Amino acid sequence: MNEEKKNVAYIDGANLHNGIKVLPWRFDYARFRIWLLHKYNVEHAYLFLGMMPKYKELYKQRQEEGYTLVFKEVIYDNNGKPKGNCDADIVVSAMKDAYEEKFNQSILVSSDGDYTPLVKFLLERGKIRTVVSPYGTKLCSVLLKRTGVKIAHIADQQTVLETQKEKAPDEQMSHKGPFRKE
């Protein structure tokens, strides 16, 4: 039986988190997961993160939103700053899955030029659809741009990915539309 393989997303959680921090609007992870499904037919969205027990509720929320979490052990530098670099884990997972033909196309969510060899590998095999950059055009690595891969920018998707604001009790309507008292 010829089972149709769907697309997968490999998401660098730290790169995504740091990229969306600079957006002038609030990014919605649940809407992002749905956007990946509808825009790129992403069946599995692998979110690579450093494991820190204090964020267990956040991890639970991401799983409920449809992400498959892949954890990396966190170590701490001399200043106590946590480090959970997942780059190598993403590369190995994507290459292994490509060799085992577990997907039709992949989507990489990162702006990091360290993924250039992976992107080239996937391009040569016709196994990457796009890179989704959490950063704007100027901050996406020139190394990724040079590969010729299609690059989509989260910053350009505000109308789709912004957290929807609930109407506040003090919100009023005027002939010009809703406004909120500050």
What is the crossing angle of helices 116-124 and 87-99, to 10°?
Answer: 10
The long-range contacts involving 33-36, CB below 8 angstroms and separated by at least 24 positions, are 33/65, 33/66, 33/67, 34/66, 35/157, 35/160, 35/161, 36/9, 36/107, 36/132
Report DSSP letters for 113-178, one per residue.
GGGHHHHHHHHHTT-EEEEEESS-GGGS-HHHHHTT--EEEGGGGHHHHBPPPPPPTT-EEETTEE
pLDDT tens readout for residues 45-102: 999 999 998 999 999 999 999 999 999 988 888 888 887 789 999 999 999 999 999 9
Q: Provide the pLDDT for residue 81.
A: 84
Whether residue 12 is predicted with pLDDT greater than 70 in this model: the reply is yes
* Predicted confidence (pLDDT) per residue in 139-159, tens digit: 889 999 999 999 999 999 989
Q: Using the 8-state DSSP alphabet, how is residue 55 labeled?
A: G
Average model confidence (pLDDT) across the chain: 87
Taken in order of first residue, the domains within the chain and their CATH numbers are 7-179 (3.40.50.1010)
3-state secondary structure of 50: strand
